[in-house]
Structure 1
Amino acid sequence: MKKSLKVWSALIFVLFIFPIILEFIPSETSGETAAIGPLNNQQLVYATNINEPEPQPQPQPQIQTAKRALLFSTHSHEAYEPITQQHDGKIAVSHPEANIMRLDETIKSQLEFNGISTEILDVDTTSVMKEQGIAYHKSYDVVRPYVQKSLQKGNYDIIIDIHRDSLKADKTTLTYAGEKYAKIVFVIGGEHNNFKVNQELAERLTTELEQMVPGITRPLVFKAGHGVDGKYNQDLDPSLILVEMGGIGNNEAELNRTSAVLAKAVSNVLQ
Structure 2
Amino acid sequence: MKTKRFTIVLSICLMLVGIGVITQLTTADSVRPAWNPASILSGQGLEHQVGEAIKIVDNKGNVISQACQGVSVGDEIISADGKHYRIVKLNKDRAIVKSLGMDKEFLAWNEYFTDERLAMAAATKKTGKVGIYHTHSDESYVPSDGSESKPFKGGIYDVGQSLSTRLQEKSGTEVLYDKTPHDPHDNAAYQRSRRTATKLMKENPIALIDVHRDGIPDPDYYSAKVSDTNVSKLRLVVGRQNPNMQANLSFAKKMMAYANKVHPGIVKEIFMAKGNYNQDLMPTALLIEAGTHTNTKGQAERGVALFADAIPIVLGIEGGPAEAQGKTGFKGITDRGATAENSGGWKAVGWILGLTLLLGGGFLLISTGSLKGVGERIGAFGKEFSNYLGPLKKRMQGKKRATKDTSETTKASYDQADRAVIDHRDDVTED
**TM-score (norm. length: structure 2):** 0.42
1:221 aligned to which of 265, 271, 277: 271
3-state SS, counterpart of residue 256 of structure 2: helix
3-state SS, counterpart of residue 243 of structure 2: coil
Q: Which residue of 1 aligns with 2:158?
A: 102
Contact 1:65 1:116 in 2 (8 A): no
3-state SS, counterpart of residue 310 of structure 2: helix
2:313 aligned to which of 259, 268, 271: 268
3-state SS, counterpart of residue 205 of structure 1: helix
3-state SS, counterpart of residue 79 of structure 1: coil
Distance 1:233 1:71, change over 3 A: same
Structure 2 residue runs without a partner (length 5+): 1-124, 317-431
Contact 2:214 2:289 in 1 (8 A): yes
**1:161 Cα deviation (Å)?**
0.1
Matches of 1:192 and 1:222, distance apart in 2: 11
**1:264 Cα deviation (Å)?**
0.7
Q: How many residues align?
A: 189
Residues 53-107 of structure 1: per-residue CA shift (max 9 Å, x gap): xxxxxxxxxxx882201100100010011211xxxxxx31101334211211111
**1:178 Cα deviation (Å)?**
4.2
**1:252 Cα deviation (Å)?**
3.3
1:256 aligned to which of 280, 295, 301: 301
1:125 aligned to which of 173, 177, 182: 182
**1:177 Cα deviation (Å)?**
5.1
Q: Which residue of 1 aligns with 2:285?
A: 240
Matches of 1:265 and 1:203, distance apart in 2: 12
Matches of 2:265 and 2:199, distance apart in 1: 37
Contact 1:115 1:267 in 2 (8 A): no
- Code of the residue aligned with 1:256 in structure 2: it is E
Q: Which residue of 2 aligns with 1:83?
A: 144
Q: Which residue of 1 aligns with 2:168?
A: 112
Matches of 2:294 and 2:238, distance apart in 1: 23
Q: Which residue of 2 aligns with 1:196?
A: 246
- Code of the residue aligned with 1:232 in structure 2: it is Y
Q: Which residue of 2 aligns with 1:136?
A: 186
3-state SS, counterpart of residue 220 of structure 1: strand
Q: Which residue of 1 aligns with 2:223?
A: 173
Matches of 2:172 and 2:315, distance apart in 1: 11
3-state SS, counterpart of residue 127 of structure 2: coil
Matches of 1:115 and 1:270, distance apart in 2: 13
Residues 1-59 of structure 1: per-residue CA shift (max 9 Å, x gap): xxxxxxxxxxxxxxxxxxxxxxxxxxxxxxxxxxxxxxxxxxxxxxxxxxxxxxxxxxx
Contact 1:165 1:244 in 2 (8 A): yes
3-state SS, counterpart of residue 76 of structure 1: coil
Matches of 2:228 and 2:273, distance apart in 1: 34
1:74 aligned to which of 126, 132, 135: 135
Q: Which residue of 2 aligns with 1:148?
A: 198
- Code of the residue aligned with 1:180 in structure 2: it is N
Residues 167-213 of structure 1: per-residue CA shift (max 9 Å, x gap): 22110111235431111111110112221101111111101111122
Residues 117-164 of structure 1: per-residue CA shift (max 9 Å, x gap): 0011241111xx4xxxxx71211011112211221x221111100000
Structure 1 consecutive aligned stretches of length 4 or more whose deviation exceeds 6 Å: none
Contact 1:74 1:140 in 2 (8 A): yes
2:208 aligned to which of 140, 159, 163: 159
Contact 2:266 2:307 in 1 (8 A): no
- Code of the residue aligned with 2:307 in structure 1: it is L
**1:262 Cα deviation (Å)?**
1.2
Identity among equivalent positions (%) equals 25
Matches of 1:124 and 1:213, distance apart in 2: 31
Matches of 1:215 and 1:175, distance apart in 2: 9
Contact 2:140 2:150 in 1 (8 A): yes
Q: Which residue of 1 aligns with 2:342?
A: none
Contact 2:227 2:264 in 1 (8 A): no
**1:256 Cα deviation (Å)?**
2.7
3-state SS, counterpart of residue 245 of structure 1: strand
Structure 1 residue runs without a partner (length 5+): 1-63, 85-90, 130-134, 225-229
- Code of the residue aligned with 1:95 in structure 2: it is K
Distance 1:264 1:78, change over 3 A: same
- Code of the residue aligned with 2:238 in structure 1: it is I
Matches of 1:263 and 1:236, distance apart in 2: 22
